Amino acid sequence: MPGSKRIAILATDGFEQSELLQPRDAFKQAGFHVDVVAPKAGSIRGWKDKDWGDAVPVDVALADARVEDYDALVLPGGQMNPDILRMDQHAVALVKAFDAAGKPLAAICHGPWLLVEAGAAKGRKVTSWPSVRTDLQNAGATWSDAEVVVDGHLITSRKPQDIPAFNRAVLEALAQA
């Protein structure tokens, strides 16, 4: 039942605006509770086109986010966002915890950098923004150029144009969870 399921979206300043807002809004419209989780309280700012975008309120501080409180974790891209988060031990630990729990773990664009850092890409089939391909392959993943790749509980997509397929895959995974 969607209303009882919770989704965490892990992000920080510099997230690709469309990759956080469109999934968040689609999941809320489908009846899920969605929290934006970030390393800092208050708000985080997106990146849109070639400049800073909108501020998004933070619902839960990263230090307070626990895998048992959520049914899925979503990792939006943007270059800055996952690059900053992969250096944050709490962010990496949360991704590891979702992977270990076998809960839906979804990453788009540059978001799979966090999968690499958490060891969640090894032996998995994935996709990403093309520049992340080598990092994923070096981490032991099999990369393909597809709008969405689902490997067990792991869901990956390449870019903002893939968001509709990405959202459908996350919602399908939650329906099966």
Token pair for residue 62? Answer: 């990263």
Based on the residue annotation, tell me whether 110 is a catalytic residue of this protein: yes
SS3 of 94, please? helix
Q: What is the pLDDT along the chain (177 residues), one digit of tens a residue?
A: 566 899 999 999 999 999 999 999 999 999 999 999 999 999 999 999 999 999 999 999 999 999 999 999 999 999 999 999 999 999 999 999 999 999 999 999 999 999 999 999 999 999 999 999 999 999 999 999 999 999 999 999 999 999 999 999 999 999 998
User: Residue ranges of the domains in the chain?
Assistant: 2-176
SS3 of 20, please? helix
Mention the CATH class of domain 2-176: alpha beta
Those residues whose C-beta lies under 8 Å from the C-beta of residue 87, and which sit 6 or more positions away, are none
Q: Among the options 33, 90, 110, 153, which is catalytic? A: 110
Nearest to 132 by CA among 114, 146, 113: 113
Q: What local confidence, expressed as pLDDT, does residue 177 receive? A: 81
Nearest to 135 by CA among 67, 48, 77: 77
Q: How far apart are CA 58 and CA 153, in angstroms?
A: 25
Q: What local confidence, expressed as pLDDT, does residue 173 receive? A: 97
